[in-house]
């Protein structure tokens, strides 16, 4: 008998948990230095992400733990802690996510002739009973909520970058 878990179509059938895996790329209108300078200002995240209802972060550095409350387009709040495990200035950020959803996330930045590219990779699964139930009975709805946060967030960040940063560095 195998102790491994069978995974098909993003659903762990041994535990009936849906895992949402994403690999998205976003072209941004600034170079990597300008993007990094913006994302280093964690106190400004709610300026470009109005769906980030609460955000407690000290810095963009290894070991920092960010506490977030996310308002998805669906009628619920998602509470998570993002523990930064790797930060390579101008290149990447890796994190462990825990709370209502759990898993890993990674941002990779690369230069482009007209700005930079932000690659967002994640593998997340719901842990809160409400979210687990939703993912089980309506996996398309759960994926929609996840993709909405990624795509809307990238679009809002791009608009913020086009307008230029506001406030102190």
Question: Per the domain annotation, does 1 fall within a domain?
Answer: no
10-35 average pLDDT score? 81
Question: Per the domain annotation, does 139 fall within a domain?
Answer: yes
Question: Per the domain annotation, does 126 fall within a domain?
Answer: yes
Q: Which of 146 and 65 is assigned the larger pLDDT?
A: 65
What is the band of 166 on the pLDDT scale with cuts at 50, 70, 90? low
Question: Per the domain annotation, does 31 fall within a domain?
Answer: yes
Q: What percent of the chain has pLDDT over 70?
A: 87
Question: Per the domain annotation, does 2 fall within a domain?
Answer: no
Give the ranges where the chain is alpha helix by DSSP (H): 32-39, 45-48, 129-137, 139-163
61-83 average pLDDT score? 94
Question: Per the domain annotation, does 88 fall within a domain?
Answer: yes
Closest CA to 99 of 120, 121, 83, 122: 83
- Cβ-contact 50, 72 below 8 angstroms: no
Degrees (nearest 5) of the Cα angle 30, 94, 8?
110
Q: Is the pLDDT of residue 28 over 90?
A: yes
pTM of the model: 0.85
Degrees (nearest 5) of the Cα angle 94, 100, 106?
15
Q: Please provide the average confidence, as pLDDT, over all residues in the chain.
A: 87
Q: Is the pLDDT of residue 138 over 60?
A: yes
Question: Domain tally for the chain?
Answer: 1
- What is the structure's pLDDT at 165? 57
Q: Is the pLDDT of residue 130 over 90?
A: no
Closest CA to 121 of 144, 98, 105: 105
- Cβ-contact 80, 101 below 8 angstroms: yes
Question: Per the domain annotation, does 6 fall within a domain?
Answer: no
Sign of CA dihedral 127, 131, 133, 139: negative
Q: Give burial (CB, 10 Å; 0-12/13-18/19+) of 99.
A: middle
Q: Where are the beta strands (DSSP E) in 36-76?
A: 52-56, 65-71
Degrees (nearest 5) of the Cα angle 152, 136, 16?
120
Least confident segment among 3-7, 43-47, 59-63, 113-117: 3-7
- Cβ-contact 107, 25 below 8 angstroms: no
Question: Per the domain annotation, does 51 fall within a domain?
Answer: yes
Q: Is the pLDDT of residue 4 over 70?
A: no
Q: Which residues fall within 8 angstroms of residue 7, CB to CB, at 6 or more apart? A: 13, 19
CATH number (domain holding residue 84): 3.30.530.20
Range of the domain at 54: 11-163
């Amino acid at each position: 008998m195998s102790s491994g878990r069978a995974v098909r179509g993003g659903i762990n059938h041994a535990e009936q948990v849906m895992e949402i895996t994403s690999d998205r790329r976003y072209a941004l209108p600034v170079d990597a230095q300008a993007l990094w300078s913006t994302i280093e200002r964690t106190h400004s995240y709610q300026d470009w992400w109005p769906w980030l209802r609460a955000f407690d972060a000290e810095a963009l550095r290894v070991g920092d733990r960010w506490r977030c409350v996310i308002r998805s387009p669906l009628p619920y709040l998602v509470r998570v802690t993002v523990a930064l495990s790797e930060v390579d200035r101008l290149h990447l950020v890796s994190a462990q996510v825990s709370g209502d959803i759990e898993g890993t996330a990674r941002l990779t930045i690369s230069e482009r002739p007209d700005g930079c590219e932000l690659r967002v990779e994640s593998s997340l699964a719901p842990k809160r009973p409400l979210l687990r139930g939703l993912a089980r009975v309506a996996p398309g709805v759960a994926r929609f909520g996840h993709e909405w946060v990624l795509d809307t967030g990238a679009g809002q960040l791009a608009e913020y970058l086009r307008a230029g940063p506001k406030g102190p560095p």
